[in-house]
Amino acid sequence: MAYDPDNIFARILNGEIPCDKVYEDDQVLAFNDHNPQRPVHVLVIPKGEYVSFDDFSANASEAEIAAFTRAVGRIARDLGIAETGYRLLANTGPHGGQEVPHYHVHIFGGAPVGPMVSG
């Protein structure tokens, strides 16, 4: 799947659409989900143009992957949920239920998240 430069997260990255930012560095942006499913629900996205985890894991540089992984952990610690715990989720492709075609990880926390998979 080719990257769609008009996807909603691309538009957040270029400043066209606002977000409630919780973290930013030169490689990564994180912001609160506009429809939170748990008390903490943050989306972490790379600034590079990757459609999904599949694309990112295959095509991102080692530096991008390292920066992204480090940022996710740091954000969770900064949010104060590292001790109590949290869930990371990367919906990938149609069967994964991915809606926005720019790679992102959900961080859920602030309360027990519940069953791993439902429905």
Greatest CA separation found in the chain? 39
**Which residue number, 27 or 98, has a Cβ lying nearer to ligand 5GP?**
98
Q: Which residue has the tokens 């769609």?
A: 4
By three-state DSSP, how is residue 103 classified?
A: coil
Tell me the site size for ligand 5GP, rule CB under 6 A.
Answer: 14
DSSP 64: H
Where does this chain touch ligand 5GP (CB under 6 A) — which range of 49-57, 73-81, 92-100, 107-115? 92-100
Q: Which residue has the tokens 């992102």?
A: 104
Among the listed residues 38, 86, 98, 107, the single contact to ligand 5GP using CB under 6 A: 98
**Which residue number, 76 or 105, has a Cβ lying nearer to ligand 5GP?**
105
**35 part of the interface to ligand 5GP, by CB under 6 A:** yes
Q: Which residue has the tokens 């560095």?
A: 25
> Which residues have a Cβ under 8 Å from the Cβ of 115 and sit 6 or more positions away?
none
Q: Enumerate binding residues for ligand 5GP (CB under 6 A).
A: 8, 17, 19, 31-35, 43, 91, 97-100
